[in-house]
């Protein structure tokens, strides 16, 4: 399968004050030399716990923030600061954020919200734009579209708002959608509908998704391949069923066991590999998972490379776990 997007050695460090009264600085290696590619028509999942660098990766791809180093290729073109390529990327690669309330301006009409990207990218005449907005509303099944068109966000529920966000992302006919925890703030009752809709649209239009989540069950529902991030690094990549059924990295294993905690058959195993809270001191030295890892050996004081561990599979660990 051909690639639509690829990321090579992407890196972003943040420097922050250790405390409000402290003058010493702390470096956060939010994204630290990660590489992956997204194939055409594929759903690639980026998973990992809070603070692992998922959102920062999305922002770096869209150049909402400048990377310290590394490259992003979109449709075989390197995206740098040149505005021509960046404009193309921003039109063809849309992002959906977690919070449908923060993502849309409450004072704008639904029609204007969805039309905005068409205006920014100067697509179509006024009449054509109107038609595109109606089509997008129908695509996300907000009907009757003509009625929704004139409404304001406060007249809609959380699930409907996230459909508006999806409609706005779709209206420019993007090749890639980066969905950053798109359903985590919605009521449980509407999550499945929104995910189903996303999957349907993906299949219908052959859009490629980067689906960012820490929820492995929805990841498995939507995704074909998965990358697991831990403290700015990708620690494991591979086809989603294989990674989730036979994890090769202790952190992936711990994530999976954390969700099967309720399963009595898994209780013992969960206890066995329960992970510790990370120690702040030297997390960036050697394997970043070391202070929480039940398998750690002396060698883990070095940084493990992301190596091939099977067909289409990579893992960054010195120990072979099964
Ligand atoms: N602008 C910033 N300035 C300083 N630190 C930042 C900034 N943005 C992110 N970080 C830090 O970088 C790390 C990665 O953050 P990021 O938001 O990418 O994580 P995430 O995986 O998306 O987490 P979550 O699941 O909570 O959304 C965190 O430690 C975060 O505090
Ligand atoms: S490299 Fe060592 S510390 Fe890191 S995950 Fe593997 S066994 Fe654990
Ligand atoms: Mg995030």
User: Which tens digit of pLDDT belongs to each residue from 202-243?
Assistant: 999 999 999 999 889 899 999 999 999 999 999 999 999 999
CA 143 – CA 10 distance, rounded (Å): 41
Length of the chain (residues)? 322
Instruction: Scan for tokens 């959608």, then name that residue.
Output: 177
CA neighbours within 13 Å on the CB side: how many for 207? 28
How far apart are alpha carbons 25 and 18 in whole angstroms? Answer: 5
pLDDT tens digits for range 138-171? 999 999 999 999 999 999 998 999 999 999 999 9
Q: What is the dihedral of CA 78, 70, 240, 210, to 10 degrees?
A: -50
What is the rounded distance in angstroms from the CA atom of residue 196 to the CA atom of residue 93? 21
Question: b/e for 210-243, b at 16 or more Cβ within 10 A?
Answer: bbbbbbbebbebbbebbbbbbbbbbbbbbbbebb
CB under 5 Å of ion ligand 3: residues: 54-55
Distance from Cα 179 to the centre of ligand 2, integer Å: 30
Query: Is 300 close to ligand 2, i.e. is its CB under 6 Å away?
Result: yes
- At 272 the pLDDT is 46
Q: What pTM value is reported for the model?
A: 0.92
Ligand 3 centroid from CA 289, angstroms: 20
C-alpha span between 269 and 250 (Å, rounded): 12
Contact (Cβ atoms closer than 8 angstroms) between residue 277 and residue 206 = no
Out of 29, 49, 52, give the residue to mutate to test ligand 1, the one with the largest number of ligand atoms within 8 Å of its CB.
Answer: 52
Contact 247, 256 (CB under 8 A): yes
Tokens of 253: 């294993």
Phi, psi of 28 (to 5 degrees): -105, 115
| Sheet hosting strand 77-78, strand order edge to edge | 25-39, 3-17, 69-74, 77-78
Residue 270's pLDDT is 42
- Overall average pLDDT of the 32-51 stretch: 96
Domains of the chain in start order, with CATH, are: 3-245 (3.40.50.300), 249-308 (no CATH)
Q: Residue 276: its pLDDT value, please?
A: 56
Would you state the pLDDT for residue 242? 96
Both tokens assigned to 167 = 């409609």
Residue by residue, DSSP assigns 253-271 as: HHHHHHHTTT-GGGHHHHH
What per-residue confidence (pLDDT) applies to 280?
54
Q: Distance (Å, rounded) from C-alpha 302 to C-alpha 95?
A: 36
Half-sphere exposure of 58 (CA within 13 A, CB side): 24
């Amino acid at each position: 399968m051909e690639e639509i997007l690829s990321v090579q050695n992407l890196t972003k460090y943040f420097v922050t004050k250790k405390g409000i009264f402290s003058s010493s600085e702390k470096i956060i290696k939010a994204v630290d030399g990660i590489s992956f590619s997204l194939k055409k028509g594929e759903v690639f999942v980026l998973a990992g716990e809070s603070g692992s660098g998922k959102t920062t990766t999305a922002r770096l791809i869209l150049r909402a923030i400048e990377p310290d180093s590394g490259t992003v290729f979109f449709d075989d073109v390197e995206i740098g600061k040149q505005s021509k390529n960046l404009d193309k990327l921003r039109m063809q690669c849309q992002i959906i954020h977690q919070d449908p309330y923060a993502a849309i301006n409450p004072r704008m009409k639904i029609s204007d919200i969805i039309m905005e990207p068409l205006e920014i990218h100067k697509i179509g005449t006024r009449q054509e734009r109107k038609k595109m907005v109606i089509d997008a509303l129908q695509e996300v099944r907000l009907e009757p579209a003509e009625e929704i068109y004139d409404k304001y966000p406060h007249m809609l529920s959380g699930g409907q708002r996230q459909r508006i966000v999806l409609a706005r992302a779709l209206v420019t006919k993007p090749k890639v959608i980066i969905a950053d925890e798109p359903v985590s703030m919605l009521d449980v009752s509407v999550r499945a509908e929104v995910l189903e809709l996303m999957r349907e649209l993906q299949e219908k239009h052959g859009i490629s998704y980067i689906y960012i989540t820490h929820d492995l069950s929805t990841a498995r529902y939507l995704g074909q391949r998965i990358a697991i991030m831990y403290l700015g690094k990708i620690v494991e990549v591979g086809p989603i069923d294989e990674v989730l059924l036979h994890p090769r990295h202790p952190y992936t294993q711990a994530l999976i066991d954390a969700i099967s905690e309720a399963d009595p058959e898994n209780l013992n195993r969960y206890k066995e590999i329960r992970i510790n809270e990370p120690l702040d001191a030297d997390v960036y030295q050697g394997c970043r998972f070391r202070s929480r890892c039940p398998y750690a050996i002396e060698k883990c004081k070095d940084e493990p490379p992301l190596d091939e561990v099977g067909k289409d599979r990579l893992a960054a660990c010195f120990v072979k776990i099964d």
